[in-house]
Structure 1
Amino acid sequence: MNVTPSESPEPSPPGLIESVRAVSSAPEPDRAGQRWGFGAFLLVEAVFILSAVFITAVGRINGASLSSSVSLVLIGSIVPSVLAAAVAVVITKVRGNGPVIDLRLQWTREDVATGLKLGILGLFLTYVAATIWAKAVGEENATSAVGELVTQASLPVSAAVVMFLYVCFIGPVCEEIIYRGLLWGAVERQGWNRWAAFGMTTVIFAISHLEPLRTTLLIVIAIPIGIARLITRRLGASIVAHVMNNFLPGLTLLLVTIGVIPA
């Protein structure tokens, strides 16, 4: 009589805590061929800041202001981020192996799942942290810079939709390329481990928003996003987590702007 051997069950995928623990013993990624470092990040940050200042100055010369010009709000919000991220990608092509290798700009199905889980966790943490923070600083100071600009400019529906797409999708992709792509890669190139990269990118991400009152809140928001990058070692998971984290605030901003819900 033939006996069919019992099949051994497939191992279940590791949980979040196990994945974080595994990072400590995993080898650092190879960065052979990468000829850029912190200087590249500083250049990209300079492009972001100077382009924002230039756009604002040109708008004011032509009589526009952030409180009255829809075009200035859209261009001043979107162009600096997109331009800075584009420069980061170009740097990796000219001075390295390209964005897929140097910035880890890739993802798998597992990365998407991880990003979704951490994005949901991030929404919860953001809600709790934002509630505590608003009570600490006062409701009148609790609006983000983008939210304040959108409210002041009284955007029409078409512009509000563009801003929603920027806050929820374009902005997260650009910021991940700059911080958990370029800056993270610069840290690892120095021979520091990915925990150092996680800590540094989380803090600099928060500070670089140039909103001193919100820096602590932004650090809390950035933690789940950074963990997604830490666990998977790829940018795809952190992009998904960032998109998830921005979606509800972006949707709320859109609904307030078009008058569906009160401000």
Structure 2
Amino acid sequence: MSVSDGGPPGAAPGGPEPQPEAPSPWADPTSSWTVPDVAAGAPARVDGAPVSHAGAAAGPTQAAGSWPAAPAGLPPAAGSWSGQPAAGPHAAWPAAPAGLRQAPPGPYGSWLPPPRRGLAALAAPAAPRTHRWGLPAFLLAEAVFLLVSAAAGVLLIGGSLGSDGPPVDVWVFVVATAVPTLAAAAVAVAVTWLRGNGPRIDLGLTWSGRDVAIGLGLGFAGLFVSTAAAAVWVAIVGPDVSSAVGDALDGLRAPWPVALAVLVAVVLVAPFCEEILYRGLLWGAVEKLGAGPWLAFVITTVVFAFAHFELVRAPLLLVIAIPIGLARLITGRLGASIVAHSVNNLLPGIALYLMLVGVPLPAPA
């Protein structure tokens, strides 16, 4: 017995009629991406409504002729999934966003920044500034430094620094000079916790072997340059030009533990705190205002030189600050500049230690 012409194709003689085949989900224009949905000149649609690029890019390709997944690294605002796709079943991505370039190979590569050349290539890329603090935070920390310094000078030192007053106790002097710097650095760190992402992210307070190597290299190079610059400066200005700390401790003697405390304060404490304040907090505040790394380097270097309130030595301090700032500029972190600053302070710290324990030092030529 043959199957009648009107029977369904594939039906067995005398058997039950075959069930209709379930429709493919890819053929349903209200629930899936199909070729008609992305035809030329039509916006992308799902469930009968236009969708934005975020929805289209959320998953991989679902069917032949569907939208491809978003290229890796493309900023959400750069693509236009809901715009007019190019001719053909696949939509073409628009041109690279302003300031970015498409990485080869293929049309769906990552969006990368343009290659940096010249001096721009020397500086580490600036991290996005997402913190909520800015220049007022630096001014607050600097105000704390000045107020604590004034209070320490009155309460601890008094009139000892005057020419007619009694000699200052070395240990008291160490406390009176270290506490204001520590207080300012503490304010800087607290600001990053309260109004930002913490000192590691906001200030770049991280360390690596590369940072230490760069800090040592620039520190010793800066030490050589600053020593030569100091000799030239003494020849121009005269031998009486010295640091405020050297002037205050000149001619004093102290037990070796106290002298060692002076050495630690000059070589370790002061560089750590000053870098947090100037090339951490001030640097971040300047970049928050829209400045690039090089402008931040220039501003922080000049402010650092004049913030010591030693106008006669300001040009020399400017020379000293350049390699320290370069360490921060090249690495983008404070670890390198802290090391460079410590190396730069090493010889003055050793000289103060030897002077305090009574070892005679050669007089400048």
TM-score (norm 2): 0.63
Unmatched 5+ stretches in structure 2: 1-116, 162-166
Amino acid at match of 1:28: A
Amino acid at match of 1:194: P
Match of 1:68 in 2: 168
C-alpha distance in 2, partners of 1:108/1:20?
23
Q: Which among 247, 259, 278 is matched to residue 160 of structure 1?
A: 259
Q: Is the 8 A contact 1:108 1:236 kept in 2?
A: yes
Asked if residue 121 in structure 1 is aligned to residue 218 in structure 2, the reply is no
Q: Is the 8 A contact 2:157 2:173 kept in 1?
A: no
Match of 2:295 in 1: 196
Deviations 1:142-184 (A, max 9, x none): 2100111122543332221101001001110000000000000
Match of 2:243 in 1: 144
Q: Using a 3 Å threshold, how does the CA distance of structure 1 residues 243 and 60 change in structure 2: closer, same or farther?
A: closer
Match of 2:336 in 1: 237
Q: Using a 3 Å threshold, how does the CA distance of structure 1 residues 152 and 210 change in structure 2: closer, same or farther?
A: farther
Residue 358 of structure 2 aligns to a residue whose secondary structure is coil
Asked if residue 53 in structure 1 is aligned to residue 153 in structure 2, the reply is no
Q: Using a 3 Å threshold, how does the CA distance of structure 1 residues 136 and 183 change in structure 2: closer, same or farther?
A: same
Amino acid at match of 1:208: A
Greater helix share, 1 or 2?
Answer: 1
Q: Is the 8 A contact 1:55 1:72 kept in 2?
A: no
Amino acid at match of 1:29: A
Q: Using the TM superposition, give the Cα deviation of residue 107 of structure 1 relative to its aligned residue in structure 2, in angstroms.
A: 1.7
Asked if residue 213 in structure 1 is aligned to residue 308 in structure 2, the reply is no
C-alpha distance in 2, partners of 1:50/1:116?
34
Amino acid at match of 1:215: A
Unmatched 5+ stretches in structure 1: 1-17
C-alpha distance in 2, partners of 1:119/1:137?
25
C-alpha distance in 2, partners of 1:252/1:152?
13
Match of 2:134 in 1: 37
Deviations 1:104-148 (A, max 9, x none): 0002111111001000111111101100111111111x2100111
C-alpha distance in 2, partners of 1:184/1:71?
33
C-alpha distance in 2, partners of 1:186/1:21?
20
Q: Using the TM superposition, give the Cα deviation of residue 60 of structure 1 relative to its aligned residue in structure 2, in angstroms.
A: 5.4
Q: Using the TM superposition, give the Cα deviation of residue 59 of structure 1 relative to its aligned residue in structure 2, in angstroms.
A: 2.8
Specify the structure having the higher radius of gyration (Cα): 2
Q: Using the TM superposition, give the Cα deviation of residue 245 of structure 1 relative to its aligned residue in structure 2, in angstroms.
A: 0.7
| Aligned residue runs from structure 1 range 104-119, under 5 A | 104-119=204-219
Amino acid at match of 2:350: L
Which structure is richer in relative contact order (CA contacts within 8 A, separation 6 or more)? 1
Residue 213 of structure 2 aligns to a residue whose secondary structure is helix
C-alpha distance in 2, partners of 1:260/1:153?
12
Count of paired positions: 241
C-alpha RMSD of the superposition: 1.8
Q: Is the 8 A contact 1:206 1:216 kept in 2?
A: yes
Asked if residue 28 in structure 1 is aligned to residue 126 in structure 2, the reply is yes
Q: Using the TM superposition, give the Cα deviation of residue 21 of structure 1 relative to its aligned residue in structure 2, in angstroms.
A: 4.8
C-alpha distance in 2, partners of 1:233/1:41?
19
Q: Using the TM superposition, give the Cα deviation of residue 261 of structure 1 relative to its aligned residue in structure 2, in angstroms.
A: 2.7
Match of 1:251 in 2: 350
